[in-house]
Structure 1
Amino acid sequence: MTHLVFFCGHAGTGKTTLAKKLIGPLMQASGAPFCLLDKDTLFGGYSAAAMAMLTGDPNDRDSPLFLQHLRDPEYRGLIDTARENLELGVSALVVGPLSREVRERRLFDRTWLGVGAEVVLRVVWVHTSEETARQRIVERADPNDAYKLVHWDQYRQRRFVPSGALCDDLLMFDNTAPKPQDYEALLARIVGEPQAAGVMMPPVPV
């Protein structure tokens, strides 16, 4: 059995940190190998080169030009890479904002993803307050965030927290100040309901 797990959310919510924290316990709990596929790691260098050629700014990842022409191919490549690993028996943790795909519930569409019913599919929405996210963005000083900070009022209009029907099957995780039991509860929801079967969840490193 393979798992496809998405860690989605806006910049500064700690998606990658959370995925890296859980990948070891996930492998232990599921007994399956996992790979970590982070959008920025896979496509950051390529997109930087493309934007430098197009606009002269390699760190421009939020302008209308990037969003219109490069965003969707990045995500399609990310999902295609995950699917190839799944076909080889390797589960995947996929990290990226994916806010549009969450809004449109594409991440629950197995036909759109190209995966069968045998794949365990989980979508985690990682969130924190706008103030906390902005503070983290400032502190990490990533050049790719420069456009967001300069155009924060414009960027913040794209921020949202799923609610209502959008939350169906969505695993919401408040990453402001999580406790060890919060990580363990999320791990249990990703893997399934192992405690009901008498299997203890491995502790998550803190």
Structure 2
Amino acid sequence: MNRLVFICGHAGTGKTTLAKKLIGPLMKAAAAPFCLLDKDTLYGGYSAAAMGMLTGDPNDRDSPLFLQHLREPEYRGLLDTARDNLQLGVSALVVGPLSREVRERRLFDRTWLGIGEDVTLRVVWVHVSEETAHQRIVARANPNDAYKLAHWDEYRQRRFLPSGDLCDDLLMFDNTAPTAADHDALLARIVGEPRAASAMLAPLPV
């Protein structure tokens, strides 16, 4: 059975680092090949070129213009690439913020995703405090974060921590200072039964 695993969360939570740490053990535990699909790796260069042409600033990657015109095509291409791999028998570990899709529960909608019941689906929400995320974003000095940092009060309004019904089958992971045991526990949740896995970890406050 193929697997589709999403690693989601706001900027600065360490999604990509976590995914790279997990993919080797995940392939071993699932006894299946995986591809790693990171939205910024797949589409960062293209979107930077497009924004450079539209606004003169290739790093204008969080502006209203980007969110209105380029966000959806990026995500649709990301999901299409994951689905193509699944159809070839390769499981997919997909990395991206996907905050709107988590809030709207789209990542649990198999019709919207275009996958069947034969695909095992897991969604991980990676979180840290706003202060920690801000510190990490500043420290990594990625030009793509320039708009966020310059408009932090605006950006922070989009940050949220899933709670209540949003947490149904959502695997919450506090990535502030995880230990090897924390990574092992998350791996077990990803390869285990979804409801039992979700019940093992309650959402933590930001």
TM-score range, shorter chain: over 0.9
Provide the residue aligned with 2:65 in structure 1.
65
What one-letter code is carried by the residue in structure 1 that aligns with 2:2? T
What one-letter code is carried by the residue in structure 2 that aligns with 1:103? R
Runs of 5+ unmatched residues, structure 2: 194-206
Percent identity reads 85
- Counterpart Cα distance in 2 of 1:186 and 1:54: 41
* TM-score (norm: length of structure 1): 0.93
Cα deviation, 1:113-158, whole Å, max 9, x if unaligned, reads 0000010000000000000000000000000000000100000000
Runs of 5+ unmatched residues, structure 1: 194-206
- Counterpart Cα distance in 1 of 2:137 and 2:113: 30
Tell me how many residue pairs correspond in the alignment: 194
Shift of 1:44: 0.4
- Counterpart Cα distance in 2 of 1:181 and 1:118: 30
- 1:164 and 2:164 aligned: yes
What one-letter code is carried by the residue in structure 1 that aligns with 2:160? F
What one-letter code is carried by the residue in structure 1 that aligns with 2:39? K
Residues 34-183 of structure 1 aligned to structure 2 (within 5 Å): 34-183=34-183
SS at the partner of 1:183?
A: helix
What one-letter code is carried by the residue in structure 2 that aligns with 1:139? A
Shift of 1:181: 1.0
What one-letter code is carried by the residue in structure 1 that aligns with 2:172? M
Q: Post-superposition, which runs of at least 4 consecutive aligned residues in structure 1 deviate over 6 A?
A: none
Provide the residue aligned with 1:16 in structure 2.
16
- Counterpart Cα distance in 2 of 1:110 and 1:132: 34
Shift of 1:180: 1.1
- The RMSD of aligned alpha carbons is 0.9
